[in-house]
């Protein structure tokens, strides 16, 4: 039997989440779609055990954000306008976004 590491062993939160926003329902779906479009290597992983989702760059061990599905909180360390802008104003902020393909 092959040993498989848990996702928590790969991604490090490292205390990088300085703030949070509440996002629910359709906003979360729009945010996740926009996040994946920012960079081809942006990935989202869902952890069933803790009921949280992580957004991170492929090959990186640090998450950009963490979403707790129980509380509806999006934990991140960027400006609120950058994070919430992905939901409603993706076209306006995508070029200067810290998670975008232009800022690798």
66-81 pLDDT, tens per residue? 999 999 999 988 888 8
Q: pLDDT confidence of 13, banded at 50, 70, 90?
A: low
Separation between Cα atoms, residue 100 and residue 29, nearest integer Å: 18
The ranges assigned to domains in the chain are 13-96
- Whole-angstrom Cα distance, residue 85 to residue 37? 14
**Is residue 101 very low, low, confident or very high in pLDDT (cuts 50, 70, 90)?**
low
Q: What pLDDT does residue 4 have?
A: 46
* pLDDT bucket at 33, cuts 50 / 70 / 90: very high
* Reported pTM: 0.77
């Amino acid at each position: 039997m092959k040993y498989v590491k848990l996702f928590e062993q790969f991604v490090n939160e490292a205390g990088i989440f300085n703030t949070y926003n509440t996002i629910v329902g359709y906003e979360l779906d729009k945010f996740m779609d926009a996040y994946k479009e920012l960079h081809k290597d942006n990935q989202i992983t869902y952890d069933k055990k803790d009921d949280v989702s992580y957004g991170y760059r492929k090959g990186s061990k640090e998450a950009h954000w963490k979403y707790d599905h129980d509380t509806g909180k999006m934990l991140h360390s960027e400006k609120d306008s950058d994070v919430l802008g992905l939901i409603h104003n993706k076209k306006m902020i995508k070029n200067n976004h810290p998670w975008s393909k232009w800022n690798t």
